[in-house]
Amino acid sequence: MGNFARQPYRQARPARPAPTRPPRGRWADAQAYAALDLGTNNCRLLIARPQGGGFAVVDAFSRIVRLGEGLAASGRLSDAAIDRTIAALRVCADKLKRRNVVLARSVATEACRRAINGTDFIERAHAETGIRLDIISAEEEARLAVLGCHALIEPGADPALVFDIGGGSTELVLVDTQGAVPRVLDWHSMPWGVVSLTESAGGSDDAEGRAAAYARMRTLAAAGMARFAARLPQVERPRLLGTSGTVTTLGSVHLGLSHYDRNTVDGLIAPAAAMRAISRSIAAKSLAERAQIPCIGTERADLVVAGCAILETILDLWPAERLGIADRGIREGILRRLMGETTP
């Protein structure tokens, strides 16, 4: 796979910081880097400056755009989904202009990989916002996620499993953590994420319909991971780290948070049994009941069940006692590459 740092999107004329919010302190003159991750469900931007062995975030943006809504049935990105996404990208473009961004990388994942009009969307996004999106492969997506969150893998000698439940796909990566940067031993991408699985296996909202839909989701997820599961080694102490809206949301529910708090959730280690119990409890609730749970709300209520089904399936194939939760991933991986960190 290619080295992202060698093929960056450079702004022709990097803008000065906005006069209303000038940078202050020792990093005022430091170069800023940006990473944009456009997934099937979310659009996320992170702008940061190098600091010590890592980086300091100077700006961020996240919005649920549901770019892949309806994709499973039509094979196309809908006009409404494209309009929502373009609006979010305009916000990102404005932030890039207001910061001293010298190097940026913007990537698109499963929705654009699958859609027959994905390339047309990429061209329109560039024409209307100035942002050049690269449609990356599933392998690149998996490696970026690992690079962005590997610091949160629990210590241990056996291989660890890192997973990213997205909107249109789920990436699983088996890594050796004996070196300074994890070495990828095996990886797998299945075409089921929270959006695609919900649209393909969802059902009625009565108790019987919810149970049947959850069973279908579990079956599809298991089939999607079967080849990878057959290749997984037997280890004495399985270690598991997840990065996605699913695991951060369930982590918030586990902690009983009234509102999402990244500083509390990022790096959380939760009992796998507790996460499984929460998943089953959420799956049994009605849409209205799920919407009333803090940190789920109306935006995630319809998609969280599919995430629970995928998570439970991962816990089946890699029976770790504890689940590490990361609120970091592809964007952080892009930034580390742009700043010169070794690729896993």
Question: Residues 120-169: pLDDT tens digits?
Answer: 999 999 999 999 999 999 999 999 999 999 999 999 999 999 999 999 99
State whether 123 and 229 are in the same domain.
no
Q: Which residue has the higher pLDDT, 89 or 19?
A: 89
pLDDT for the residue 53: 76
Percent of the chain with pLDDT over 70: 90
Quickly tell me which residue has 């940006």 as its tokens: 34
* Whether residue 103 is found in the same domain as residue 202: no
In a domain, 144, yes or no: yes
Q: Do both 179 and 42 map to the same domain? A: no
Q: Which of 128, 124, 228 is CA-nearest to residue 169? A: 228
Residue 2 has pLDDT above 80, yes or no: no
Looking at the structure of the chain, the number of domains it has is 2
CA angle 37, 193, 331 (to 5 degrees): 20
Within 10 angstroms of residue 259's Cβ, the number of other Cβ atoms is: 8
Average pLDDT, the chain: 90
Residue at 195 is within a domain: yes
> How many CA atoms within 13 Å lie on the side-chain side of 333?
27
Instruction: Calculate mean pLDDT across residues 43-48.
Output: 96
Containing 141, the helix (H) or strand (E) segment is helix 138-149
pTM score, whole prediction? 0.86
Report whether pLDDT(57) > 70: yes
Same-domain pairing of 145 and 109: no
Looking at the fold, whether 42 and 186 belong to one and the same domain comes out as no
Residues in CB range of 178: below 8 A, 6 or more apart: 157
Same domain, 152 and 296: yes
What is the DSSP-derived secondary structure letter of residue 51?
E
Residues linked to residue 103 through DSSP beta bridges, in sequence order: 33
In this structure, what token pair is assigned to residue 229? 């599961």
Residue 202 belongs to some domain of the structure: yes
Structure tokens at 276: 């499984």
Q: Give the β-pairing of 54-64 and 32-38.
A: unpaired
Of 106, 136, 166, the one marking the end of a domain is 136
**Mean local confidence (pLDDT), 300-307:** 96
pLDDT at 8: 34
- Give the pLDDT of residue 203: 85
Same domain, 72 and 96: yes
Domain co-membership, 290 together with 315: yes
Please give the Cα distance from 305 to 280 (Å, whole number). 9
* Shared domain check, 144 and 128: no
Q: For residue 343, tell me if it sits in a domain.
A: no
Residues 74 and 221 in one domain: no
Of 166, 163, 162, 215, nearest to 193 by C-alpha is: 166
Domain assignment present for 319: yes
Task: Classify strands 54-64 and 239-243 as parallel, antiparallel or unpaired.
Answer: unpaired
Q: What pLDDT score was predicted for residue 340?
A: 83
Question: Which residues are paired to 33 by β-bridges?
Answer: 48, 103
Enclosing domain of residue 293: 140-326
Determine the pLDDT at residue 344. Answer: 62
Mean pLDDT computed over 304-330: 97
Reported as a pLDDT band with limits 50, 70 and 90, residue 33 is very high
Place of tokens 């409404």: 80
Of 342, 243, 335, 262, the closest CA to residue 56 belongs to 335
Predicted local confidence at residue 20, as pLDDT: 30
Amino acid at 114: R
What are the pLDDT digits (tens) for 241-284?
999 899 999 999 999 999 999 999 999 999 999 999 999 999 99
Structure tokens at 300: 């995630």
Sheet-wide strand order for 32-38: 54-64, 42-51, 32-38, 101-108, 134-135
Quick one: pLDDT at residue 11? 33
User: What is the per-residue pLDDT across 201-230, written as a single tens digit (0 to 9) for each?
Assistant: 988 899 999 999 999 999 999 999 999 999
Q: Say what the pLDDT of residue 269 is.
A: 98
- Is 32 in contact with 48 (CB distance < 8 Å)? yes
- The CATH number of residue 95's host domain is 3.30.420.40
In a domain, 334, yes or no: no
Whether pLDDT at 16 is above 70: no
Residue 315 in any domain: the answer is yes
Contact status, residue 297 vs residue 291, Cβ threshold 8 Å? yes
Say which CATH number the domain at 289 has.
3.30.420.150
Q: Which amino acid is at 48?
A: A
According to the model, what pLDDT value does residue 189 have? 96
106 and 169, same domain (yes or no): no
In a domain, 338, yes or no: no
Q: Are residues 184 and 265 in the same domain?
A: yes
